[in-house]
Amino acid sequence: MKILARNASHRGDQGQTHLFLDLLFHGAGEAGAECEVVTLARLKINRCLSCYRCQTGEPHLVCAYDDKDEMRGVLDRMAAADILIFATPIYLMTMTGLLKTFLDRLYSTMNISQGELSDCGLIHHHKNPAISSKPFVTMVVSSNIERESWKSVPAYFRTYARFMNAPQVGVLVRNAAGLFSQMEDPEVSSQFPRLAKVCQAYEQAGRELATLGRVRPSTQRRTNQEIVSMPFFGLLKHLRPVKRRVLAVSDAMWSGTSESGRAVVGEPAAAKTMEIS
């Protein structure tokens, strides 16, 4: 079983998305899968210019940038994989520009003048099944503690799956991700005991991908479980003591202050300045 992840974090292997991919691949590797991460931020992948050379020019279905950037290599690796992973942090309530740029470039592999009906009855055009119809996992990483700001990405990939005839074999959503980079701190791990359980669930999800080709719903519930309990009715957060508590937890992720107001941690990885070359 070959699993290929595309990590669309601009922080690449210094980011939190990488941390969750690492856990997933630890489990998958243990269960015998061959795992590879393509870090999009390290590659030169130009934006689709909508020039339509891939549709009208010769050779057909070849992007104008084919020999000018590194997209071709990723397409070849996708074609050789059994399961694909789209892994993205949330930026302003959606996927990163890196991932969208990458997805747009898949257009050059599709013959848009050849109509097709997708398996679920949607009118679409030809796509290359070796690239676009592979089973895939959606992986989302965000810092906000609400179950809200990431929602557009699973919604996008649900639609993607239906048009592309691509089975979605897992949706791993991790919010409050900033807390995971502080897990080494005993006070943080005792305050948020679910952190360790979520990490174990990511490893289990990896094992299931390697052996079953999908993540079991029960495992997905564990990877996606809430770290910080929230009142069921959002409006309750306006009550002063509840508001104080939820904002304190949220601030703790960035400023290193615990729920009780005590300093618990140093600067979380998400807030660390990254060297820019």
| 163 neighbors 124 (Cβ within 8 angstroms) | yes
Q: CB of residue 150 vs ligand FMN: minimum separation in angstroms?
A: 7
Nearer to ligand FMN, 27 or 89 (CB): 89
Nearest residue relative to ligand FMN (C-beta):
15
Residue whose C-alpha is closest to residue 34's, from 77, 81, 75, 74: 81
Nearer to ligand FMN, 153 or 201 (CB): 153
| 85 neighbors 5 (Cβ within 8 angstroms) | yes
Nearer to ligand FMN, 205 or 210 (CB): 205
Residue whose C-alpha is closest to residue 86's, from 156, 187, 145: 156
Q: CB of residue 185 vs ligand FMN: minimum separation in angstroms?
A: 18
Q: CB of residue 27 vs ligand FMN: minimum separation in angstroms?
A: 19
* Residue type, position 216, single letter: R
| 206 neighbors 169 (Cβ within 8 angstroms) | no
Using the structure block, give the residue that is written with the tokens 């941690």: 265
- Residues lying near ligand FMN in the complex (CB under 6 A): 9-11, 15-17, 89-93, 141-144, 149, 177, 270
Nearer to ligand FMN, 55 or 250 (CB): 250
Q: CB of residue 266 vs ligand FMN: minimum separation in angstroms?
A: 16
Count of C-beta atoms within a 10 Å radius of residue 277: 3
Q: What is the spatial distance between Cα 242 and Cα 232, in angstroms, rounded to a whole number? A: 12
Nearer to ligand FMN, 79 or 183 (CB): 183
Q: CB of residue 235 vs ligand FMN: minimum separation in angstroms?
A: 21
